[in-house]
A and B are shown apart, each in its own frame.
Chain A
Amino acid sequence: MPVESPFHPRTAPLCESYRWKEWAGRHAVCSFGTTVDPEYLALRHACGLIDVSPLFKYEVKGPDAAALLSWIWTRDVTRLAVGAVAYGCWCDEDGKVIDDGTVARLGPERYRMTAAEPSLRWLSRQARGFDATLRDESESVAALALQGPTSRGVLRELCGSEAADLEFFRGTRARAGGLELDVTRTGYTGDLGFELWVDATDAVELWDAAVAAGADHGLAPVGLDALDITRLEAGFLLAGVDYIGARDAIIPSQTSTPFELGLGWAVHLERGPFVGRDALRREARGRSRGRSRQALVGLVADWEAIEELHERHSLPPSLPTRAWRESVPVYAAGRQVGRATSGTWSPTLKQNLALATVEAGRSAVGTRLELETTVAYERHTVPATVVERPFFDPPRKKASSGAAAEEGA
């Protein structure tokens, strides 16, 4: 039975739909209302407030904190400036991705790492010999995501200008009324947005302050269903859905390398040893044994084909209102070459999007593939095209405060 998040006293009465799911052992709202659209629209056109406390969070502190994180991570964390945040992943000795998340440098020798899966034991084992201490903050630190085009205005009222004017992937210590918190300009929606990290005992107070600050900015509480649509539009991976972490895989073919997941940009190979480096170097050099077997791509299905299939059954085409995550076969010329792992209708882009893992040779942008679909209980395929990720990438996501981009996409 899941337990309650620190924001539960506020989220529970608001959840009119009674639609909840389990996220890392916590009760989490799927959608507050019975339809997802208003929450999705808040994220893309105003501001959404999402309880992301179930994320696993670890504080890494001490003279060797950066060295330890660099040993674990595929990225060189020693290059990270104070107040900077980085996204990355970590691998096992065979170069297979275990999990992905962010590292924020909160002080000269203090970092916070997030993870989708519990990682304390693994971190502790890797920490042997490093002068660094680990603390599991998963329960003691609550987290709120404040995401959307008006989130900066909300944050300015909530915490003042220093926090609101943060650059993309930067963080700072801030105050909201009498509360102390960390603010980072990060998120899982691929949009302008922030994440607020606060002591769990102050969670309810922060929620109330954020709701008050958001009153004039269209702020709405948002559940995981709307978040799932936006993360797909942003082309972000979900561990356990779009890839299986190496520790959860039952057979080796279920695992993936960072290159296969399109995270090669987050792998710094030309540096000292780190977990999985040798295997990743072999793969990067493209030698026969280490070569990438597969690639994660973005797919857009042909709308006309979907319409035509429905027409054949005298049906109007119907749009799914939520993202899906049941694997669907992907074909090329009738032969299966991969699987789409999750997808959604994008109300913003007016496209049917999917993330798919396909044979490495089928991953070039523009490649035509076929996506399995069911219409009127019959199995069909529809043509789909490999496209660049992110699918949706508004300039405001990275724009500095004051830039004109704040108002429009």
Chain B
Amino acid sequence: MARPYDAIIIGGGHNGLICAATLARAGRRVLVLERRHVLGGAAVSEEVFEGFTFSVCSYVVSLLRPWIIRDLDLARHGLRILPLDCSFSPLPDGRSLARWGDPERTRREIAAFSPADAEVYGEYGRTMMQMGRIVKPLIDAPAPRPTSLNPARLVEILGHARRLQALPRSLRTRFLQMMTMSAADFLDLWFESDVLKAPMSVSGIIGTYQGVRSPGTAYVLLHHYMGEIDGAFRAWGLAQGGTGAVSLAIAAAARAAGCEIRTEAPVERVLVRGGTARGVVLAGGEELYARTVVSGVDPRLTFLGLVGAEHLPAELCERMRHFKLRGSSGKVNLALDHLPEFTSRPGIGPHMHGDVAIAPSIEYLERAFDDAKYGEPSRRPYINVVIPSLSDPSVAPPGKHVMSCFVQYAPYHVNGGAETWPERRAAFGDTVLETLEEYMPGLTSAVLHRQVLTPWDLEQEFGLSEGNIFHGELSLDQLAFLRPAPGWAHYQTPVAGLWMCASGTHPGGGLMGAPGALAARAMLAEGSL
């Protein structure tokens, strides 16, 4: 029998790879097992149609922690990020709003809709940044343990409390408001123009099965103000070569540290003997052994799929059944013969180099949620479009373009059952094109190929339970010491030798990488590895 590995990582997504790279750099013998033929999980680039490379699922980079980029030396391993300078919101009535990196230009654009909003926009940004400073240390460290009386833990909690206390009173009030309010209500405290509020509010609902008027969504707005590239706050970017390039850079760093990576190696279950994880069994029956097994898949798939309820406390199984996954978004990737213009701002200009939000009003967004609430995809969904080929010509043949459309809402639990999604797939794609056609006439006829991913496809193809892109909603009841379950929020599980390292753990989903790195650090600190 081969010498057992120090660690086997299930899933070659970005968190699994970061965890693997971190362990390998600490001298551990590590194996990563990826079910698909390509690495990256949901952070993946694939040449789906000849000459056209799609960021198939995740499509922008910003929250990737700068200390991970430094620790793993990702720039040297090929990571290149192209900043997005603009957020563009076309309106059906022919007007449009573009927000730019240049604050004065943004001020003038907003002033066309509301001079008052233009004036307060910068102040809002500064306030959010200040509050982001409170939250940032929480996402760069393991979750606090509010019930622990261990002095070291109490000191941590006091540190967080002291930072909050150090804020001016007005900011503290804002912070508490933000923790409890809806995104739409919170933005109402600042702004009057719907045209501005709507595209801002959507960052509160991405990946959740909630509307912009649902309480608790304001908190997620903050995540948009924590994005950093090169240490600069509030910057979003595209990875050159698509989001998969991030995963490939991490994989290169892992391999350089001696990590072994196998693709097309689907894990069927975790080998548990005597309450302890001993290794994994692959789909073909092959057994691989390790002192530690690390799950890079979501918590429900980990516990109820790979481990099995018989090895787990009943309470945890119950929590997993109620863990809110309920995916609400889909993805449409288009290969275009040429790039049509927006009616509201003709020309192929810099406004198309950033992200384009189809979010003309708060009511539009809330109606989109209304459809989803009762089991139907939105008749007119929120769509976030990026056209990476404009900034990164490597992803499409010359003159052709790639258009990535993130679409919400597409409820996993669609009427008739999730398994009916394949029959609805074409209609879902058509709705997206019809919606975009209202802003960008001629789009449909420019489409050479399209790839439509429903939440069902995200589950079947990428292993995301219920198609949830974050391995579990980022709602307050599922964050920090509650993620994924109370008592199991520090990457360990009730099965000895089994750890978790992905978005279903603290600090959560998005292309942050923090769960993978923090899990690896926790394992190394614990000493059994």
* A binding-site residues for B, Cβ under 8 Å: 1-3, 22, 24-25, 118-122, 124, 136, 247-248, 250, 252
Contact = CB atoms under 8 A, between A and B. Distances in A.
A247 B123 contact: yes
B108 A118 contact: no
Pairs A-B, 4 closest by C-beta atoms: A121-B116, A25-B104, A121-B119, A118-B119
Contact of A124 (B102, B104, B116, B126): B116
Nearest to B102: A1
Interface of B: 102, 104-105, 107-108, 115-120, 122-123, 126, 129-130, 168
B408 to A, nearest CB: 32
A118 B104 contact: no
A259 B123 CA distance: 25
A136 B123 contact: no
Given A136-B115, A250-B126, A252-B168, A121 B105 contact: no
Contacts of B120: 121
Contacts of A250: 126, 129-130
A22 B115 contact: no
A122 B119 contact: yes
A298 to B, nearest CB: 31
Contacts of B104: 2, 22, 24-25
A5 to B, nearest CB: 13
16 contacts: A1-B102, A2-B104, A24-B104, A25-B107, A118-B115, A119-B119, A120-B116, A121-B116, A121-B117, A121-B119, A122-B119, A124-B116, A248-B122, A250-B129, A250-B130, A252-B168
B168 A1 contact: no
B307 to A, nearest CB: 47
- Tell me what chain B mostly uses at the interface: helix, strand, loop, or mixed: helix
B108 A3 contact: yes
Contacts of A22: 104
A118 B104 CA distance: 11
Given A119-B119, A121-B120, A248-B126, 11 more contacts: A1-B102, A3-B108, A118-B107, A118-B115, A118-B119, A120-B115, A121-B116, A124-B116, A136-B115, A247-B123, A250-B130
Nearest to A138: B115
B169 to A, nearest CB: 10
Contact of B118 (A3, A118, A122): A118
A25 B115 CA distance: 14
Contact of A1 (B105, B117, B122): B105
Contact of A25 (B108, B123, B130): B108
Nearest to B192: A121
Contacts of B105: 1, 25
B163 to A, nearest CB: 12
A330 B115 CA distance: 40
Given A1-B102, A250-B126, A252-B168, A120 B119 contact: yes
Contacts of A3: 108
Contacts of A25: 104-105, 107-108
Nearest to A26: B104
A236 B168 CA distance: 30
A153 to B, nearest CB: 38
A252 B118 CA distance: 24
B108 to A, nearest CB: 6
A122 B108 CA distance: 17
A179 B85 CA distance: 43
Contacts of B126: 248, 250
A172 to B, nearest CB: 30
Nearest to B166: A251
Contacts of A248: 122, 126
Nearest to A93: B170
Contacts of B116: 120-121, 124
Contacts of A247: 123
A136 B118 CA distance: 13
B349 to A, nearest CB: 12
A57 to B, nearest CB: 13
Contacts of A24: 104
A3 B104 CA distance: 10
B415 to A, nearest CB: 45
Contacts of B108: 3, 25
Nearest to A252: B168
